[in-house]
Amino acid sequence: MVISKLMKMQNNEPEVIQGKGYLVEITRTSRTKTASLKVEDGVVMVVVPKKLDITKIEKIVADRHVWIMSKIALHSTATPASNKQYVSGEAFPYLGRNYRLKVLKGDLGPTKLINGRITVSIPDITQQHHYIRRFLVNWYKRNALKKITEKVQRYEPLVGVETSVIRIKEFKSRWGSCTPYGDIEFNWVIVMAPNRIVDYVVVHELCHLLHHDHSPQFWKEVERVIPDYQECKEWLKVNGHGLVV
């Protein structure tokens, strides 16, 4: 059932094989000795031992084809995560500016921002829109790590702190979190907001390394670096729920 074609992705995107009507995203890890399949948001994913041969992965997927199709069908009847159609010409914000999506049908390739368009190259498959969303999210996550890391490095000396590890995650109801050890996690969705809002979120988390609460001293520290932080805070309150892919 699986078309024997492995697509090596660039920019840390996952390995992908093409099945009959769907793609399969491969995650290799040394933390497992067995393969496991799941369908999440309409996207088929398989987690396998790090050095498992690709032909064995293809057989695992082929043997579970009926199960995979049933899960995809079940997802198609669920309520969509957003009202996006994932078609060429649709707008997606990045750092406060809207960029048009350009979908190219053909060999799978890395998602890129080219000439003012977010370009996704994908085979002509049945469940195409699920994968376009998946590749867009991966693109946002990569760029969020790069952009937020730059901003953290810029604001560290202004706040007077040093960070340890910067991670990009997906939170349901917050924009970031930190630990007393200097580890900071940011919600990748924030890079859809204007630059100044991203600055505020970065400074907010950096200030938590000085004050682990929302005391007057904490907000005074935020205001010292971001004088208009109240406007940024209000912007997120009003517009944050609309930052969706």
Question: Where residue 73 falls among pLDDT bands split at 50, 70, 90?
Answer: confident
Number of structural domains in the chain: 3
Mean pLDDT within 204-230? 97
Query: What φ, ψ does residue 130 adopt, rounded to 5°?
Result: -60, -40
Same domain? 124 vs 154: no
Which of 28, 51, 76 lies at the terminal end of a domain, its last residue?
76
Same domain? 7 vs 59: yes
Same domain? 102 vs 194: no
3-state secondary structure 185-210: EEEHHHHHCCHHHHHHHHHHHHHCCC
84 in a domain, yes or no?
no
Residues 6+ apart with CB under 8 A from 244: 81, 82, 84, 189
Distance of CA 130 to the CA centre of its chain: 14
pLDDT, tens digit (0-9, with 9 covering 90-100), for 9-43:
444 566 888 888 888 889 898 988 899 999 887 78
Domain with 103, as residue range(s), is 91-139
Q: Is 29 exposed, middle or buried (0-12, 13-18, 19+ CB in 10 A)?
A: exposed
Nearest to residue 155, comparing CAs of 192, 209, 191? Answer: 209
Q: What is the mean pLDDT of the chain?
A: 88
Same domain? 124 vs 198: no
Q: What is the pTM of this model?
A: 0.79
Worst-scoring range by mean pLDDT, 5-19, 99-113, 184-198? Answer: 5-19
Which of 139, 155, 170 lies at the terminal end of a domain, its last residue?
139
DSSP SS3 for 70: helix
Beta strand 91-94 with 109-114: parallel, antiparallel or unpaired?
A: unpaired
Same domain? 134 vs 149: no
86 in a domain, yes or no?
no
User: Which CATH number is 180's domain given?
Assistant: 3.30.2010.10
Which of 44, 76, 108 lies at the terminal end of a domain, its last residue?
76
Same domain? 124 vs 52: no
